[in-house]
Structure 1
Amino acid sequence: MESRHLFTFLVVVETGSFTRAAQKLDYAQSSITAQIQTLETEIGQPLFDRISKKIILTDAGRRLLPFAQEISRMHSLAQEALRSESELTGSLRIGAPESLAAFRLPGIIKEFRVKYPKVQILLKPGACWELTDLVRSGELDLAFLLQPETEDKDLNIETLVHEQMTLIAPPDHPLMSLSEVEPVHLKGVTILHTETGCSYRTLFEHHLNRHGVFPDPTLEFWSIEAIKQCVMAGLGIAFIPMITVNNELAEGKLARLNWNDESQRVATQIAYHHKKWKSPVLTEFLKSVQQHAENWSS
């Protein structure tokens, strides 16, 4: 079974016509017909039902389709692997929660784009559980996660750095007068929440709940920037990663409450499918990530 016959089969399926497939591949239509007939002879079953002017996949055609698609994908990956490093091309589908997309990824992506300008990078924001599912299904090549250190039977997950969390408030907030803020001090205090399902929000809420504190969930934001602006405006306090507020703390726009975050620590991790072949693009990107992570302080 020749791979070119399988590629022709895929184009016929894609275009829905022997004529359009011939036009797309710049073949004579008789050549398309001959290649499909050769495949059908090898398989021993017809691949298409020809009804009027329409062609419809038979059961054998439907069963062959995913194998032909995988062979085509591997062919593309092999071509990519054999190109010189300076000619690295392709695409990379990355997922990351907003805090990492804004405060960990820009330097990595900028450096990678300078080195490999022909690589297309697609960045999808999302919650960690959603991104993990997308890596597991193959819709993402790589995900950055901000969560408690986690293992997964389907994924390679590597910890890059343990992130410090902080409870922020306006500099003139009454809780700033306390030498140490305990969960009980947060009863009745307005807390600005990240979205439901956010890993560090869940840790924070569980910690408060264990001490009999149940925050009002009515103020919920999908944007770290919106949370920071609302805290600066005096709407309440928030529990967010330290990396997202370093500048505002240095400028005195926000203040850190003396809060023990030890039981609510999270880590920045990367995840990719352990069965997925690491293409040259993914391999080089992972190298760049590791180099940057060496300079991140926990």
Structure 2
Amino acid sequence: MDLKHLHTFKVVAETKGFTKAAETLSYAQSSVTAQIQALEEELQTKLFDRLGKKIILTASGEKLLPYAVKLLEMHDAALNDITSANETPTGTLTIGAPESLAAFRLPAIIKQYTEKYPQVKLALRPGACWELRNLTRSGELDLAFTLETELSDPDLHIETLVIEEMALVAPPTHPLAAFDQLQTEDLRDVTFLHTEPGCSYRSLFEKHLNSRGIFTNTDLEFWSIEAIKNCVMSGLGVSFLPQIAVQNEIESRKLVALPWSDPSCSVATQMVYHPKKWMSPALKEFIEITREHAALWRN
């Protein structure tokens, strides 16, 4: 089997779409389709089913995926072993992160890394924190970043990089913006704009409200932080988001951080990887650069 075809197959499986895979790989969509068709012809089986606009693995595709992951890992390991004499990291790193970290924490890390190691191909996979931990555990991700309460896992190395400040934000004209200090009870009749289900800090915030008898049925749900911020600015409601995601809007007075906080709603940016996974030079260098940036975040 052609490793290039296997890599394309893996990315299609991860992104759940030929168009998204083409964007990730910088290929034409027709090239992605042709590679998958060639692989299916070689294996004499169908690897994906199309359900409307959704792409899912067939039973054969599910069987092939772990082999593809292992073969690509062995390929990268061989490349790195052979080229280790000149200490130049090569290969591919697949990194997972939720939207907030991908947009506001990782860009500086990725910029420094790609400038220093242009031979390494980085593939960034978005996802919910629980999903990213599972993918790291199964070996489909080399490294993941999560944003959730500090936790431990016997199967994973989980390293806290920084405790993130959270902000309950509203437009400057919102009635709650006039309060000197907000109590949780003041949030009883508020419309909240939430991130997608499974988001760690959404779950934490909802659990906090529910524990105080606050249950709302007017909440709105979005899959994009940018969409949430724009809707909050337009006056649709308030939202509980990482400070890093709303800092620019707060500084420009497009949003205000309401005077409310609760230590039980604290979350941390954490770096996650499998302790038994082969630590390639490329992965080692990415981890070290991440730790350098994390030290700056904490100061």
Aligning the two structures, in what range does the TM-score lie when normalised by the shorter sequence? 0.7 to 0.9
The equivalent residue for 2:182 is: 181
Unaligned runs of 5+ in 1: 1-9, 15-53, 57-65
State the Cα distance separating 1:218 from its structure 2 match.
Answer: 4.2
Cα distance change of structure 1 residues 295 and 172 upon mapping to structure 2, 3 Å threshold: same
Aligned-pair identity in percent equals 54
When the two structures are superposed, what TM-score results if normalisation uses the length of structure 1?
Answer: 0.74
Residue 80 (str. 1) matches residue 66 (str. 2) = no
1:56-135 matched pairs, under 5 angstroms: 73-74=73-74, 76-83=76-83, 84=85, 87-135=88-136
Give the whole-Å Cα distance in 1 for the aligned partners of 2:132 and 2:236.
Answer: 31
State the Cα distance separating 1:72 from its structure 2 match.
Answer: 8.7
Worse overlay, 108-117 or 215-224:
215-224
What do you get for the CA RMSD once the two structures are aligned?
2.5
Is the contact between residue 86 and residue 116 of structure 1 (CA under 8 Å) also seen in structure 2?
no
Deviation by residue 1:113-148 (Cα, 9 ceiling, x = unmatched): 000111100001110011111111111100000000
Q: Matched residue of 1:88: which SS?
A: coil
Give the whole-Å Cα distance in 2 for the aligned partners of 1:73 and 1:118.
Answer: 16
State the Cα distance separating 1:261 from its structure 2 match.
Answer: 2.9
Q: Which amino acid aligns with 2:297?
A: W
Q: Matched residue of 1:109: which SS?
A: helix
State the Cα distance separating 1:216 from its structure 2 match.
Answer: 2.5
The equivalent residue for 2:247 is: 246
Is the contact between residue 92 and residue 282 of structure 1 (CA under 8 Å) also seen in structure 2?
yes
Give the whole-Å Cα distance in 2 for the aligned partners of 1:239 and 1:131.
Answer: 22
State the Cα distance separating 1:205 from its structure 2 match.
Answer: 0.8
The equivalent residue for 1:280 is: 281
Cα distance change of structure 1 residues 144 and 184 upon mapping to structure 2, 3 Å threshold: same
Q: Matched residue of 1:123: which SS?
A: strand
The equivalent residue for 1:29 is: none
Give the whole-Å Cα distance in 2 for the aligned partners of 1:245 and 1:234.
Answer: 16
The equivalent residue for 1:139 is: 140
Q: Which amino acid aligns with 2:205?
A: F
Give the whole-Å Cα distance in 2 for the aligned partners of 1:279 and 1:203.
Answer: 35
1:38-53 matched pairs, under 5 angstroms: none
Q: Which amino acid aligns with 2:77?
A: L
Q: Matched residue of 2:220: which SS?
A: coil
Cα distance change of structure 1 residues 139 and 76 upon mapping to structure 2, 3 Å threshold: closer
State the Cα distance separating 1:215 from its structure 2 match.
Answer: 2.4
Cα distance change of structure 1 residues 85 and 245 upon mapping to structure 2, 3 Å threshold: farther
Q: Matched residue of 1:268: which SS?
A: strand
The equivalent residue for 1:192 is: 193
Unaligned runs of 5+ in 2: 6-41, 45-65
Residue 270 (str. 1) matches residue 274 (str. 2) = no
Q: Which amino acid aligns with 2:184?
A: P
Is the contact between residue 76 and residue 91 of structure 2 (CA under 8 Å) also seen in structure 1?
no
Q: Which amino acid aligns with 2:110?
A: I
Deviation by residue 1:157-178 (Cα, 9 ceiling, x = unmatched): 0000000001000001101121
Q: Which amino acid aligns with 2:123?
A: L
State the Cα distance separating 1:256 from its structure 2 match.
Answer: 0.7
Is the contact between residue 94 and residue 142 of structure 1 (CA under 8 Å) also seen in structure 2?
yes
Cα distance change of structure 1 residues 75 and 233 upon mapping to structure 2, 3 Å threshold: closer
Q: Matched residue of 1:158: which SS?
A: strand
Deviation by residue 1:208-231 (Cα, 9 ceiling, x = unmatched): 111111122641011111110000
The equivalent residue for 2:52 is: none
